[in-house]
Structure 1
Amino acid sequence: MKPEEIQFGDWARIFMGENPPAFFIEALLRIAIIYIILMVSMRIMGKRMGSLLTRNEMIALVCLAAANGVALQSPERGILPVIIIAVVIIGFQKYIAWRAMKSTKFESLVLDDVDLLVKDGYLQLDKMEQTRLTRERLMAEFRHNGINNVGRVQRAYLEANGKFSILQYPDEKIGLSTLPNWDKDFHESLPKAPGNYACRSCGNIVKGAKPTHECDRCHLQDWEEAVIT
């Protein structure tokens, strides 16, 4: 379309574009066929497509959506290419699932692996940096699970699909509070562990007077009184 052909107030062009009126009737048939293609494709690719997706499954879903959009909007584009693209994507996904079942190395390479974020109440900062996960995002996940003390966390994993798995100690533990620093009133209401201080960076616990030295684990100097829950 030439620039001089674009005029504000041309409501027929704005709402209908340059498509002939007959195309809107045809679009109903296209939508029905493409909907069936998507439904069958998702069904064949398995129940995982209805839950949290891995990166590969997300890529497959985006590719299907991109292929279908063109056929819905342009009368010059047929539906057969959409069917071919869907078959290729489904076949590729099935192959990846089959290879992943045969080889754990291939599964880790293509679908990613589980990362350990917390071990025995201590934040694994190297893994958090590797997965580009912020400390506040992890603390928010703990608060969402009713955990107000990092020391209660025996293990915290970041699964390949981006979901968190958290295992807790059954008894009381001393550790770093998961509350935000600005919520001082709530923080003061938590039971403290006198003579124990937690590193705000990694959750390392030291006993005695408030430290004036760097943390042995993360080499930062930022301490607060530990809590016990």
Structure 2
Amino acid sequence: MPDLSAMFTLETPALELIIRGAVIFLSLLLLMRITGQRESGGLGLTDVLLVVLIAEATAGGLVGDSHSVTDGVIVVTTILVCSVAVDAAACRFPRFSAVIKARPKTLIKDGRFDRKVMRREFMTPEEVRSQLRLHGIQDPTRVHLAYLEPNGMISVLTSKNDESEPPQHPPTH
């Protein structure tokens, strides 16, 4: 029979757990911000593996040698509070938001690749062309603007002369 009182007994001082959670959260936030927004897009197999390895590597730093459920709950709560606090601060303070939140980056302007942005985001022209094909565009010169969005996806606006007529709505009776 499990010892429920031991399972929920605080093994590490609560303040230490809060500090550990905040330091790990802010460190990982900074590291992920440095890696660039392309890496924050859709999760692939290597991304899932990376998340698991980061979780495993930081687990000891988060709760030390603790096995208490209560210690884990305090750390998780601290991480969630830090996440909400960072989002609230980014919303309230535009300068902080500019540092902490990714902004859309122009990959193509008037049919020309922005090689500097592509280099910084570790993207090749073929990768961008692949994304254009997913948008139904074969020729990059048809693109007015293409952005690498903060979520890692690419949005595309075609040239004015390539836009089709807006859809016609059936008449209402």
Tell me the TM-score range normalised by the shorter chain: 0.5 to 0.7
Residue 105 of structure 1 deviates from its aligned partner by 2.2
Structure 2 length as normaliser, TM-score? 0.56
Structure 1 length as normaliser, TM-score? 0.43
Matched, 1:163 2:153: yes
| Higher share of residues assigned strand | 1
Q: Secondary structure at the match of 2:141?
A: helix
Residue 108 of structure 1 deviates from its aligned partner by 2.2
Q: Give, in whole Å, the separation in 2 of the partners of 1:138 and 1:93.
A: 31
**Paired letter, 1:154:** H
Aligned to 2:167: none
Q: Aligned residues, how many? A: 118
Matched, 1:149 2:171: no
Q: Give, in whole Å, the separation in 1 of the partners of 2:116 and 2:40.
A: 23
Aligned to 2:125: 135
Higher relative contact order (CA 8 A, sep 6+): 2
Q: Secondary structure at the match of 2:161?
A: coil
Deviations 1:99-140 (A, max 9, x none): 111122211211222211000111011111111111111111
Deviations 1:13-45 (A, max 9, x none): xxxxxxxxx67xx9xx9xxxxxxxxxxxxxxxx
**Paired letter, 2:129:** M
Cα 1:64–1:87 change in 2 (3 A) is farther
Q: Which runs of 5+ in 1 are unaligned?
A: 1-21, 30-52, 71-75, 173-229
Q: Give, in whole Å, the separation in 2 of the partners of 1:171 and 1:112.
A: 31
Give the alignment of 1:1-229 within 5 angstroms: 66=56, 77-172=67-162
Q: Secondary structure at the match of 2:147?
A: strand
Q: Which runs of 5+ in 2 are unaligned?
A: 8-38, 42-46, 61-65, 163-173
Aligned 8 A contact 1:64 1:85 in 2: no
| Higher share of residues assigned helix | 2
Cα 1:54–1:160 change in 2 (3 A) is same
**Paired letter, 1:106:** F
Q: Give, in whole Å, the separation in 2 of the partners of 1:139 and 1:94.
A: 36
Q: Secondary structure at the match of 1:171?
A: helix
Aligned 8 A contact 1:64 1:86 in 2: no
Moved over 4 A (4+): 61-67
Q: Give, in whole Å, the separation in 2 of the partners of 1:134 and 1:164.
A: 13
Q: Give, in whole Å, the separation in 2 of the partners of 1:162 and 1:63.
A: 21
